């Protein structure tokens, strides 16, 4: 777990994006972090302490005293010194301004001013508030204080306006936090794409053409890439896997066409793509809208070619992007695999041998050879899919170094 034993203080302020902070806290806990949450008076208008105490498994702080008559004092200095990192998410325009000017008129701000740990800030507000000179000045100041500002994204805002101001997505904040604690990770801050699993090609509402791919190899790859710091887009066909990793964003698809669409949506922002999906080469020419009824003794299906995702991305890739494909061969294995590598413009191909028991679909183990464009190859023995994934990821990282 990438944030094991890290103490993270999440400060939530008054913005509609406060609801997203709940998901952030959940992801942090999944990463093994110890999380404590502070809510500003403004945040209490949007979310309740109970949500955050349940998710963080810790009491939530919103004022200097527990309740007016208790006389129990929440110690802001103690809390500030406890944290390894303070994350202000969402940071409203009002809180940013107070942070920039040293105001401490609530518990959250007093704790912020007492903190000696690094501070990460994810602003969230309406577009015009974000563009206002005052906010710009405040952000500049906060950057000068050494704080890390996570730029808000563009898009539709809660007000209905379009523009910049939307809080960075919880997953992006997690990526930044992991990158902060693991500066040496080779894929930190990078996005990668992995295709995995089978595709199902619909015949009619109740039938499809599919294959036995389980998606296990793809998930092992996605996990190994995430452990090296990457944000992984996992485009995966129908599967029974439990995928719960804060750095793996799952894009669930069914057919080859859907898989291609999901890949194209993220490909340009990915430095590395690993194509481990078992994509159906053909799909039924027609998809019946009603269940096909039994007729004579024979049924002939007409199939048409599916897009080749690897080849499409191979044509589209820029110099800084690297592509790793798989080949499953039964005869003249290396020759066919090398041919595939050139045809699809890949930078590395992983040859899966079906000759050995324990290698291939649905198994826990795999046996591979790696083949590079200059026809150099390296053979490996039978090993777990996890170990195979680590070998492939290490080879892929070497490819990125050459771009």
Alpha carbons 235 and 246: distance in angstroms, whole number: 15
**360: phi > 0 → left, psi -120 to 50 → alpha, else beta; which?**
left
Task: Establish whether 67 is a catalytic residue.
Answer: no
Taking the alpha carbons of 13, 16, 17, 19 in that order, is the dihedral positive or negative?
positive
| Residue 151: both structure tokens together | 């730029």
Nearest distance in Å: CB 199, ligand CTP: 8
Alpha carbons 385 and 377: distance in angstroms, whole number: 19
Nearest distance in Å: CB 311, ligand CTP: 7
Of 268, 194, 277, the residue nearest 230 (C-alpha):
194
Catalytic option among 58, 211, 257, 345: 211
Cα–Cα distances in angstroms (integers) from residue 359 to residues 216, 304, 368, in the given order: 12, 30, 9
| φ, ψ of residue 365 in degrees (nearest 5) | -120, 170
Nearest distance in Å: CB 101, ligand CTP: 54
Nearest distance in Å: CB 329, ligand CTP: 7
DSSP 35-81: EEEEE-TTGGGT--HHHHHHHHTS-EE-SSBSSTTT-PBP-HHHHHH
Nearest distance in Å: CB 353, ligand CTP: 12
Per CB under 6 A, residues contacting ligand CTP are: 195, 256, 275, 277, 279, 281, 306, 308-310, 325-328, 340
**Catalytic residue positions, numbered:** 211
């Amino acid at each position: 777990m990438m944030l094991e034993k890290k103490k993270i203080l999440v400060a939530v302020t008054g913005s509609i994006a406060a609801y997203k902070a709940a998901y952030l806290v959940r992801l942090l806990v999944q990463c093994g972090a110890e999380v404590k949450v502070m809510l500003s008076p403004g945040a209490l208008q949007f979310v309740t302490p109970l949500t955050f105490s349940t998710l963080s498994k810790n009491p939530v702080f919103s004022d200097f005293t527990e309740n007016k008559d208790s006389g129990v004092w929440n110690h802001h200095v103690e809390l500030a010194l406890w944290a390894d990192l303070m994350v202000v998410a969402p940071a409203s325009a009002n809180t940013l301004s107070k942070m920039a000017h040293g105001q401490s008129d609530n518990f959250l701000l007093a704790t912020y001013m007492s903190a000696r740990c690094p501070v990460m800030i994810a602003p969230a507000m309406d577009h015009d508030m974000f563009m206002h000179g005052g906010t710009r000045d405040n952000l500049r100041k906060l950057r000068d204080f050494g704080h890390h500002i996570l730029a808000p994204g563009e898009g539709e805002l809660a007000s209905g306006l379009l523009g910049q101001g939307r809080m960075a997505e919880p997953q992006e904040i997690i990526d930044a936090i992991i990158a902060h604690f693991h500066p040496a990770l080779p894929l930190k801050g990078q996005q990668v794409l992995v295709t995995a699993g089978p595709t199902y090609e619909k015949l009619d509402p109740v039938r499809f053409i599919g294959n036995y791919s389980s998606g296990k190899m793809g998930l092992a790859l996605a996990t190994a890439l995430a452990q090296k710091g990457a944000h992984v887009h996992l485009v995966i066909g129908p599967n029974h896997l439990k995928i719960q990793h804060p750095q793996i964003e799952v894009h669930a698809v069914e057919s080859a066409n859907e898989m291609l669409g999901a890949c194209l949506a993220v490909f340009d922002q990915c430095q590395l793509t690993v194509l481990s999906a078992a994509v159906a080469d053909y799909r039924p020419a027609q998809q019946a809208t009603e269940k096909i009824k039994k007729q004579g003794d024979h049924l002939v299906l007409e199939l048409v070619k599916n897009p080749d995702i690897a080849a499409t991305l191979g044509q589209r890739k820029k110099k800084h992007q690297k592509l790793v494909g798989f080949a499953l061969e039964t005869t003249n294995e290396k020759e066919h695999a090398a041919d595939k590598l050139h045809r699809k413009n890949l930078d590395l191909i992983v040859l899966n041998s079906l000759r050995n028991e324990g290698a291939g679909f649905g198994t826990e183990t795999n046996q591979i050879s790696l083949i590079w464009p200059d026809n150099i190859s390296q053979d490996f023995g039978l090993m777990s899919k996890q170990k195979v994934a680590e070998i492939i990821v290490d080879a892929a990282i070497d490819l990125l170094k050459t771009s």
